[in-house]
Protein backbone atom coordinates (compact mmCIF):
# COMPACT_ATOMS: atom_id res chain seq x y z
CA UNK A 1 0.00 0.00 0.00
CA UNK A 2 1.38 3.41 -0.97
CA UNK A 3 0.99 6.20 1.56
CA UNK A 4 -1.00 9.13 0.16
CA UNK A 5 -2.35 12.38 1.56
CA UNK A 6 -6.08 12.19 2.40
CA UNK A 7 -5.93 8.40 2.68
CA UNK A 8 -5.70 6.20 5.75
CA UNK A 9 -2.14 5.58 6.86
CA UNK A 10 -1.01 2.01 6.21
CA UNK A 11 -1.15 -0.01 9.42
CA UNK A 12 2.12 -1.03 11.00
CA UNK A 13 3.41 -2.86 14.04
CA UNK A 14 7.08 -2.86 14.98
CA UNK A 15 9.32 -3.15 18.03
CA UNK A 16 10.53 0.13 19.49
CA UNK A 17 11.55 2.22 22.46
CA UNK A 18 9.19 4.54 24.31
CA UNK A 19 10.08 6.72 27.29
CA UNK A 20 13.37 4.83 27.58
CA UNK A 21 11.75 1.37 27.69
CA UNK A 22 11.76 -1.35 25.04
CA UNK A 23 8.27 -1.91 23.66
CA UNK A 24 7.77 -5.20 21.80
CA UNK A 25 5.03 -3.86 19.52
CA UNK A 26 4.28 -0.26 18.61
CA UNK A 27 1.27 0.01 16.35
CA UNK A 28 -0.32 2.97 14.60
CA UNK A 29 -3.63 1.73 16.05
CA UNK A 30 -2.26 2.59 19.51
CA UNK A 31 -2.39 6.28 18.54
CA UNK A 32 -5.97 6.57 17.26
CA UNK A 33 -7.58 9.69 18.66
CA UNK A 34 -4.25 11.55 18.63
CA UNK A 35 -2.23 13.20 15.92
CA UNK A 36 1.04 11.46 15.01
CA UNK A 37 4.20 12.85 13.46
CA UNK A 38 5.96 9.81 12.02
CA UNK A 39 9.44 10.54 10.71
CA UNK A 40 12.03 8.31 9.11
CA UNK A 41 15.70 9.05 9.35
CA UNK A 42 18.28 7.33 7.14
CA UNK A 43 21.16 6.45 9.45
CA UNK A 44 22.23 6.49 13.07
CA UNK A 45 25.47 8.21 14.05
CA UNK A 46 25.54 10.74 11.22
CA UNK A 47 25.51 14.50 11.63
CA UNK A 48 21.97 15.41 10.58
CA UNK A 49 19.98 12.45 11.98
CA UNK A 50 20.91 12.84 15.65
CA UNK A 51 20.31 16.59 15.52
CA UNK A 52 16.81 15.99 14.17
CA UNK A 53 16.05 13.33 16.78
CA UNK A 54 17.27 15.61 19.56
CA UNK A 55 15.25 18.56 18.20
CA UNK A 56 12.03 16.50 18.06
CA UNK A 57 12.74 15.13 21.52
CA UNK A 58 13.33 18.64 22.90
CA UNK A 59 9.94 19.69 21.48
CA UNK A 60 8.00 16.71 22.83
CA UNK A 61 6.09 18.83 25.38
CA UNK A 62 4.97 21.17 22.58
CA UNK A 63 3.72 18.18 20.58
CA UNK A 64 2.00 16.65 23.63
CA UNK A 65 0.22 19.97 24.23
CA UNK A 66 -1.23 19.53 20.73
CA UNK A 67 -2.40 15.97 21.49
CA UNK A 68 0.30 14.76 19.11
CA UNK A 69 2.85 11.99 19.48
CA UNK A 70 6.14 11.72 17.60
CA UNK A 71 7.44 8.40 16.29
CA UNK A 72 10.90 8.10 14.76
CA UNK A 73 12.06 5.14 12.70
CA UNK A 74 14.98 4.10 10.54
CA UNK A 75 15.55 1.34 8.04
CA UNK A 76 13.73 -0.13 5.08
CA UNK A 77 10.03 0.57 4.77
CA UNK A 78 6.87 0.10 2.77
CA UNK A 79 6.37 3.86 2.77
CA UNK A 80 8.30 4.50 -0.44
CA UNK A 81 11.33 6.25 1.05
CA UNK A 82 13.97 3.55 0.56
CA UNK A 83 16.53 4.19 -2.19
CA UNK A 84 17.40 0.73 -3.52
CA UNK A 85 20.53 1.73 -5.45
CA UNK A 86 22.03 3.54 -2.44
CA UNK A 87 20.80 1.14 0.23
CA UNK A 88 19.50 3.95 2.43
CA UNK A 89 16.14 5.56 3.12
CA UNK A 90 15.35 9.21 2.51
CA UNK A 91 14.14 11.62 5.20
CA UNK A 92 10.40 10.95 5.19
CA UNK A 93 7.89 12.63 7.47
CA UNK A 94 4.17 11.96 7.76
CA UNK A 95 1.57 13.88 9.73
CA UNK A 96 -1.34 11.57 10.54
CA UNK A 97 -4.50 12.96 12.10
CA UNK A 98 -6.53 11.61 15.00
CA UNK A 99 -8.63 9.51 12.60
CA UNK A 100 -5.59 7.83 11.00
CA UNK A 101 -5.68 9.96 7.82
CA UNK A 102 -2.40 11.15 6.32
CA UNK A 103 -2.55 14.94 6.18
CA UNK A 104 0.99 15.71 5.02
CA UNK A 105 3.98 13.91 3.52
CA UNK A 106 7.46 15.35 3.19
CA UNK A 107 10.40 13.49 1.69
CA UNK A 108 13.77 15.22 1.77
CA UNK A 109 17.02 14.43 0.04
CA UNK A 110 19.67 13.10 2.43
CA UNK A 111 21.71 16.23 3.22
CA UNK A 112 18.79 18.42 4.38
CA UNK A 113 17.06 17.94 7.72
CA UNK A 114 13.58 18.93 8.82
CA UNK A 115 12.35 21.89 10.84
CA UNK A 116 10.58 20.96 14.05
CA UNK A 117 9.00 24.42 14.19
CA UNK A 118 7.54 23.93 10.70
CA UNK A 119 6.14 20.53 11.70
CA UNK A 120 4.55 22.08 14.79
CA UNK A 121 3.06 24.83 12.59
CA UNK A 122 1.59 22.23 10.23
CA UNK A 123 0.05 20.19 13.06
CA UNK A 124 -1.50 23.36 14.48
CA UNK A 125 -2.80 24.35 11.03
CA UNK A 126 -4.40 20.96 10.38
CA UNK A 127 -5.98 20.95 13.83
CA UNK A 128 -7.29 24.47 13.24
CA UNK A 129 -8.92 23.44 9.97
CA UNK A 130 -10.32 20.30 11.65
CA UNK A 131 -12.01 22.50 14.23
CA UNK A 132 -13.08 25.48 12.14
CA UNK A 133 -13.22 24.09 8.60
CA UNK A 134 -11.15 26.91 7.16
CA UNK A 135 -9.15 26.25 4.03
CA UNK A 136 -6.70 29.11 4.34
CA UNK A 137 -4.81 28.66 7.60
CA UNK A 138 -1.11 29.41 7.18
Cα of 103 vs its chain's centroid, Å: 11
Catalytic residues: 49
DSSP 9: P
Whole-number Å distance between alpha carbons of 94 and 79: 10
**Mutual orientation of helices 116-132 and 48-58 as an angle, nearest 10°?**
50
Amino acid sequence: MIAQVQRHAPPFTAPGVSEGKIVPNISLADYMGRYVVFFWYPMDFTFVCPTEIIAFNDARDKFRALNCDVIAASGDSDYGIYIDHQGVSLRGLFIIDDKGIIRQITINDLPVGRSVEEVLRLVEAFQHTDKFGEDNHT
